[in-house]
Amino acid sequence: MNGGEPAPPLARSTLDRSAHRRGDPDWLGRAWGRARVLVLDSGNDGRALVRADAEPPALVLVGPGDVPDEAVARAMFLGVEPDDVPVFVVDAPLPALAGTHAVHLREVGHLLADRDAGIFTTGLALLNWHRTHAYSPLSGQTTTMDEAGWSRIAPAGERMWPRTDPAMIVLVHDGVGGLDGRCLLGNNATWPRVPGERRFSCLAGYVEPGESAEAAVLREVREEVDVAVTDIAYVGSQAWPFPGSLMLGFHATADPRQPLRVDPAEIAYARWFSRAEVGAALAGRIVDVDGDRLVLPPPSSIALFLIRRWLDGHC
């Protein structure tokens, strides 16, 4: 992003990751004693606590003495705050604290301050990676956490580091300004149907081996709706730790006169929407889509970030 422009909602942080500390057990031991700790409950969809009376919502971080003994050995070091206090994350049941409630990152990521958005996103991404890498892909042996949570190692010495899966997401539009300008959105075939509603979002897909992100934009749009795009422009990126993607956001243009031919395995329905329609939906007004109400992506997603930028003419 250019200086002064807003960042995608889960691309914000104030944390110094201090990667050089991850292999220093003496420093980590001392740091734990004065740390702030984010508790995430993997048994509750990776939820964390926020203060119920805070506006905007504020993450609840506890002291090391509030962490269950069995979770201490699995504490993962996230970094150091601007006030020089280290931050860790643990996977444990959420403590019962008055004036708090449990939330998912999808629900509050866009509302959190930069500091809390960075801590929650990084902690959840790291937790999800550990949950899915308990065994070495080379030997099949059980792996154990190492480097303060930033790697896993097997008995034979194979080491794995956290990985994220690159995925492109693109807001295709017609390049026309004003309320008559249109963008192309799709309803994913795998999304659960809610009676009376139909959710639409940007087109997206994983970057394949040996492929650039821009090439993935061309391929995915062609595969999903059989439309050729031009003027592909990178906008920004954010983590999407559900369970472990990096979303690379783009705008691109296409001619709405091209016929739409959807791949039914991926897209149930696709159509062009005007700025007037998208703006009305974001304002809470009913926009009819063949008898259903248009529903747009959640506020914590980069999809809605891309849509809002187009709506405001920043493309």
Mean pLDDT per segment of 10 residues, for the chain of length 315 residues? 76 97 98 98 96 92 96 97 98 96 96 97 97 93 97 95 96 96 97 96 98 98 98 98 96 98 97 98 97 97 98 88
Sequence-ordered list of residues with C-beta below 8 angstroms from that of 75, at least 6 positions apart, any chain = 32, 37, 67, 88, 89, 90, 148, 149
The three-state (H, E, C) secondary structure of the chain, written as one string:
CCCCCCCCCCCCCCCECCHHHCCCHHHHHHHHCCCEEEEEEHHHCCEEEEECCCCCCCECEECHHHCCHHHHCCCEEEEECCCCCEEEEEECCCCCCCCEEEECHHHHCCCCCHHHHHHHHHHHHHHHHHHCCCECCCCCCECEEEHHHCEEECCCCCEECCCCEEEEEEEEECCCCCCCCEEEEEEECCCCCCCCEEECECEEEECCCCCCHHHHHHHHHHHHHCCCCEEEEEEEEEEECCCCEEEEEEEEECCCCCCCCCCCCCEEEEEEEEHHHHHHHHCCCCCEECCEEEECCCCCCHHHHHHHHHHCCCC
What pLDDT, on the 0 to 100 scale, is given for residue 54? Answer: 86
What pLDDT, on the 0 to 100 scale, is given for residue 4? Answer: 61
What pLDDT, on the 0 to 100 scale, is given for residue 52? Answer: 85
